[in-house]
Amino acid sequence: MNGAHAVARTLLNSGVEVCFANPGTSELHFVAALDDEPALRAVPCLFEGVATGAADGYGRMTGRPAAALLHLGPGLSNGLANLHNARRAGTPVVNLVGDHATFHKKYDAPLESDVDALARTVSGWVRRCDDAVGVGTDVAEAVAAATGAPGRVATVLLPADVSWSDGARPAPPVAARPPTAVPEQTVAAVVAALRTGEPAALLLGGAATREPALSIAGRIAAATGARLLCETFPARLERGAGLPAVERLGYLAEGAMAQLGGVQHLVLVGARAPVSFFAHPTLPGLLAPDSCRIHTLATTADDIPAALSDLADTVAADAAAVLQAAVRPPLPTGALTAETAAAVVGALLPDGTIVVDEANTSGLWLPGATAGAPRHDWLTLTGGAIGQGLPLAAGAALACPDRPVLCLEADGSAMYTISALWTHAREGLDITTVIFANGSYAILDMESRRLGMPADGSAHHDLLDLTRPGLDFVALARGMGVPASRATTAENFTARLRQAFAEPGPHLVEAVVPALF
Amino acid sequence: MNGAHAVARTLLNSGVEVCFANPGTSELHFVAALDDEPALRAVPCLFEGVATGAADGYGRMTGRPAAALLHLGPGLSNGLANLHNARRAGTPVVNLVGDHATFHKKYDAPLESDVDALARTVSGWVRRCDDAVGVGTDVAEAVAAATGAPGRVATVLLPADVSWSDGARPAPPVAARPPTAVPEQTVAAVVAALRTGEPAALLLGGAATREPALSIAGRIAAATGARLLCETFPARLERGAGLPAVERLGYLAEGAMAQLGGVQHLVLVGARAPVSFFAHPTLPGLLAPDSCRIHTLATTADDIPAALSDLADTVAADAAAVLQAAVRPPLPTGALTAETAAAVVGALLPDGTIVVDEANTSGLWLPGATAGAPRHDWLTLTGGAIGQGLPLAAGAALACPDRPVLCLEADGSAMYTISALWTHAREGLDITTVIFANGSYAILDMESRRLGMPADGSAHHDLLDLTRPGLDFVALARGMGVPASRATTAENFTARLRQAFAEPGPHLVEAVVPALF
């Protein structure tokens, strides 16, 4: 058996079932191996950032890694931005990066680059395979490294001759590191903090924004009066009617500082102490009040549900969480704006939807409008590298074929990885994409004003304006095989979204909205 | 004056006139500075790979760097693939990468990553700016580092607080390192080799594929009988009627080995000893025959025209170069294929065109069909990182507004950076893009067969096929404001191409051709 076949078989042995792929010549033996392993589903992507973003979406929804097949340093480079988001999300991902044959690297052929250095910038684990004999073990260890708590990006650098050489054998699964048990005294310290009676909040992240941890946190909040907050950009927040409502920290420092004002005890549960997304000349980087004491109950490496359960046993033995009521906004009429569009989404969101949110400024009203919608998952831009939404939606849809996916996408961000729409069509994924077409990088307009700079210069307008010419997302989507339409009023946005939700397969609705800034 | 203003003014002082930009919040002070420096043209790009590829095209045509404005590690990541190509081309490029404020990096905010490591993978020079006082000098030195022989990627990491802090001042230009003079004895050794009477060839690269070096090399070839070869993927090859004809080394090892067969003396002039693009299990990596002696007349760091001139003074004092005759293929009729499409291009190519060639397998007949066309430049995929063509064309068109640009682009490669079309439209660039739509990654089909692997498996088909659904490039181009049409016969390809050449501004023609493999 050659190395490539051993890699494919080992991935299957270890529970990897999907490979998002953008192969080149150095990966062709692996492509041939996939021909013999139909259980390992090969999903073509027209750009590596689609493959890595899809692997992130898949991993967030399953807790298991997909593989991303990439072509040497340049292929990995194109995938790095969405791997950065995956790293920030703590998503398990296994990169297979084909490389020149071991004996060829010394020639510095045109595609040669420092792929090892590139891999280290996003990976929690990197392995360069030396020979076919060891490649099965390399891959099994990669899957374990990716999967254990916390999830991480694991990158296997796979030279072409390792793939084509014989003498390889598949490896059995390697046990992933289990989450760490949180010591009793750590829980006891949090108990003491919550029993002071001083204002407290739990800041949830990682597994704490999902069940079963979320409901336990809700009980603790109900019993102690602590508020339930979560990080600004959670990897996957379960929310909606019947779940405890969690307040996300705001994106702007001044907003988050207001939310945290008066909190005397901030208990971190899979989250880190909140910091400003960007520095601002006159605002602090650390957002909790100076007087606030920060307690870490559990990191993402820890057993978060168990730690919360231990805490609840002491402080919330008989408490019931306060649950979000089922409530939807009425369907709006008239002008389509970010606000009325959010109301339509809230009014129509199907039960069990996976929402991918890269709506940026146009998404301001979305959390409020959907808070009482039927239970759903909310996936956000964890690392700030835009161009995540369309790929993430592809991976989430492949991970959960029985659930609808709603991708809420800003026009500027959509263009980074627009070719993901082709993968939506190719795989027949049940994804409804809404493009919030406000014709600008509006967030930069907002940040300019916030920084006290004039937003009326010609370079400013040239670089932030997307209307000369306008982007026609209906044409772009149809050009990649995705049925598409445009909405310019609340009424026709309602009609288009209803239709998209009712029909299986991918759809795109361009929602023309004014920029907020 | 704040740091951002000093950066902009220093760029202008140093001769940088264009900034291809994809800014974010950390670059907003620089955007504001651009408002005050209208001579520094800000060109918006919807994806960083467009900005860096455009900077490569601009630098190849002018010999001077453009700036590429990128947003932290993820923005640089998205630009890396085309920076890899620029590095291989020896193109001067100055990256301005905004970063978190110096005092904010310790917080590991969501966009934080190892941007320094990323920068080093593609840059010949990297500088992290420490303060506003020094930033002018940093930028002047970056321009000099980029511009000197050989050209390179220079990256400036520009923290937000350096941009917004006062106390900065623009720096005067810094002298770039001049090309190195080639010693007499080096020239003498090549003279001796060429005088053996044994079969010889000059292998041209870097400045040797352009005037004035090219004509001097032609005289040497005529006088000595040495053949004129050039590297497989030259950064910029001047060619056409009235110039010495140069034979490009083939992409496949077996082809290049055949071209080099029998050569006893290979004289490198701005090129390196030829190596196989990829390793192959049964072919050597070094392509010159074992018996061939390799002589380096000049590297890309050397004064190539002077070295050739010195050589010509001895071996070709009175010789005239053999020049390519003016000859065009007849306009074909009937089926549109890669071969007939090439004939149409050869028949119609306007005088002085800049040809950007990322046609891959569909481009097989292009060099032959255009060899005797009016004089033109041919820009190729130097580093093998596909997705270069559309951005490179944008940069070349901005560099040379009085020359037509023809971008010959494969469908698969086009999708990596398709949003470059929007920049074509935004800037009104006179670029005719031909998409060779063969509906597959045909080069991988070819390589699979060459590697002796079956090309009939389902994963193979799933990953190499671009027809389910088909990509409609007419819709995609129109969606970004570029007039577009489709050609399916030689006759209507002729008509479409004629029209595109006749009208100013961007056009796209989708040429539907069968895959070669």
DSSP A290-317: TT-EEEEEE-TTB-HHHHHHHHHHHH-T
B418 and A418 within 8 Å at the Cβ level: the answer is yes
**CA-to-CA separations, A269 to A103, A179, A295, A332, B242, in angstroms, rounded:** 48, 13, 9, 38, 73
Q: Decide if A154 contacts A175 (C-beta within 8 A).
A: no
- State the DSSP code for B511: E
Q: How far apart are CA A293 and CA B149, in angstroms?
A: 57
- Provide the pLDDT for residue B338: 98
Contact residues for B447 (Cβ-Cβ < 8 A; gap 6+): A25, A28, B278
- Provide the pLDDT for residue B368: 97
Residue B97: name the closest of B51, B159, B37 by CA.
Answer: B159
Residue B245 region by backbone torsions, left for phi larger than 0, else alpha for psi between -120 and 50, else beta: beta
Residue A404 region by backbone torsions, left for phi larger than 0, else alpha for psi between -120 and 50, else beta: beta
Name the strands in the sheet holding A507-512, side by side, starting at the edge strand that comes first in the sequence. Answer: A237-239, A376-380, A354-358, A405-410, A431-437, A507-512, A484-487
> Does residue A454 surpass a pLDDT of 80?
no
A35 and B387 within 8 Å at the Cβ level: the answer is no
- Provide the pLDDT for residue B460: 83
Take residue A508 and report the two structure tokens written for it: 């795109």
Q: How crowded is residue B453: how many other Cβ atoms within 10 Å of its Cβ?
A: 18
Q: How far apart are CA A296 and CA B26, in angstroms?
A: 31
Rounded to a whole number of angstroms, the distance from the CA of B446 to the nearest CA of chain A is: 10
Q: Which site among B19, B121, B445 would you substitute to test the A interface, given the most A Cβ atoms closer than 10 Å to its Cβ?
A: B121
Q: Please identify among residues 145-204 of chain B the ones whose CB lies closer than 8 Å to any CB of chain A.
A: 160-161, 164
> Considering CB atoms only, which of B385, B415, B448 is closest to A46?
B415
- Provide the pLDDT for residue B266: 98
B472–A contact, CB cutoff 8 A:
yes
Q: Are strands B507-512 and B484-487 parallel, antiparallel or unpaired?
A: parallel
Tens-place pLDDT, residues A460-469:
888 999 999 9
pLDDT, average across residues B369-380 = 98
Q: Please identify among residues 375-434 of chain A the ones whose CB lies closer than 8 Å to any CB of chain B.
A: 382-385, 387, 412, 415-416, 418-419, 422, 425-426
CA gyration radius, chain A: 23
> Is there a cis peptide before residue B212, judged by omega within 30 degrees of 0?
yes
> Is there a cis peptide before residue A212, judged by omega within 30 degrees of 0?
yes
Q: How far apart are CA B227 and CA B121, in angstroms?
A: 36
Take residue A59 and report the two structure tokens written for it: 């991993």
**CA-to-CA separations, A366 to A349, A381, B461, in angstroms, rounded:** 11, 15, 41
pLDDT-above-70 percentage for chain B? 100
The band of B444, judged by pLDDT with boundaries at 50, 70 and 90, is very high
Q: Decide if B487 contacts B498 (C-beta within 8 A).
A: no
Q: Are strands B293-298 and B247-248 parallel, antiparallel or unpaired?
A: unpaired
Q: State the average pLDDT for chain A.
A: 97
Rounded to a whole number of angstroms, the distance from the CA of A517 to the nearest CA of chain B is: 14
HEC secondary structure over B412-473: HHHHHHCCHHHHHHHCCCCEEEEEEECCECHHHHHHHHHCCCCCCCHHHHHHHECCCCCCCH
The complex's ipTM works out to 0.98
Burial of B193 (0-12, 13-18, 19+ CB in 10 A): buried
> Does residue B366 surpass a pLDDT of 90?
yes
A276 and B104 within 8 Å at the Cβ level: the answer is yes
Q: Decide if B91 contacts B235 (C-beta within 8 A).
A: yes
Q: How far apart are CA B445 and CA A164, in angstroms?
A: 17
> Does residue A455 surpass a pLDDT of 80?
no
pLDDT, average across residues A441-466 = 88
Tens-place pLDDT, residues A146-191:
999 999 999 999 999 999 999 999 999 999 999 999 999 999 999 9
Tens-place pLDDT, residues A330-379:
999 999 999 999 999 999 999 999 999 999 999 999 999 999 999 999 99
Q: How far apart are CA B486 and CA B471, in angstroms?
A: 12
Q: At what angle do helices A48-62 and A389-399 cross, to 10 degrees?
A: 50
Q: Which residues pair with A239 in a beta bridge?
A: A376
N-term to C-term CA, chain A: 60
A278 and B80 within 8 Å at the Cβ level: the answer is no
Q: Which site among B11, B20, B28 would you substitute to test the A interface, given the most A Cβ atoms closer than 10 Å to its Cβ?
A: B28
pTM, entire model? 0.98
Nearest residue on chain A to B159, judged by CA atoms?
Answer: A279
Q: State the average pLDDT for chain B.
A: 97
Which residues in chain A are contacts of B164 at CB distance < 8 A? 281, 451
